Copies of this chain bind each other. A is one copy, B any other.
Amino acid sequence: MGKPAQISAETNWDAGTAVRDTALSRLVGYNLKRSFNNIYVDLAEALRPFGLRMITFTILTMLRENPGIRLSNLAAAIDMEKPNMVSVIDELSARGLVTRSADPLDKRARQLHLTADGLKLQHQAYAAACVHEEGCLQHLDEAERAQLIALLSKIRHGADKDSR
């Protein structure tokens, strides 16, 4: 396709002229960014009543399933840099949702745990997140949702494998 001197004829952009994005639409990366942003903004709104952001919600949920995990292990598990994790844990700790306790096996390490309040908030927020997902994905049926998650995690774990 080396010929067409001009991609398209000159257009009047005065009114609501339709904008083309066929080239970008072919790229999975572009579609991922756009649809992620749509869901992300919406999820942030769903979590705001609980005083949570996506990252704090993620951490509370991870702590529920992995009580006592070390900060560095948790950071690695969700692809976050340790220094950034520290400040978020500071925030959750100051709110009384998470505790840092001594690790008997390694004096350098700290065990992270949910408090009773943290567990309660995680329950509520997770329920809200599920309701939110329902709203975002109402145009997808059960099979499509499962397919989407399967394809996305295939990308994730494929990339994991490659980097090692």
Which residues of A are interface residues toward B (Cβ below 8 A)?
A: 6-8, 10-14, 17, 19-40, 42-43, 54, 58, 61-62, 64-70, 73-74, 77-79, 103, 105-106, 109, 111, 126, 129-130, 132-133, 135-140, 144-145, 147-149, 151-156, 158-159, 162
Contacts and interface: CB of A to CB of B under 8 A. Distances in A.
Contact of A155 (B132, B140, B147, B162): B140
B36 A32 contact: yes
A26 B42 CA distance: 17
B67 A6 contact: yes
Give chain A's interface secondary structure class: helix
26 contacts: A6-B67, A7-B64, A7-B65, A7-B67, A8-B66, A13-B68, A14-B103, A14-B106, A20-B65, A22-B65, A24-B61, A27-B130, A28-B136, A28-B137, A29-B39, A29-B54, A29-B132, A31-B148, A32-B35, A38-B155, A39-B159, A135-B162, A139-B155, A144-B151, A144-B154, A148-B152
Contacts of A158: 136, 138-139
Contact of A21 (B37, B38, B77): B77
Nearest to A154: B139
Contacts of A68: 10-11, 13
B35 A58 contact: no
Contacts of A153: 25, 31, 35
A37 B20 CA distance: 25
B35 A152 contact: yes
A64 B23 contact: yes
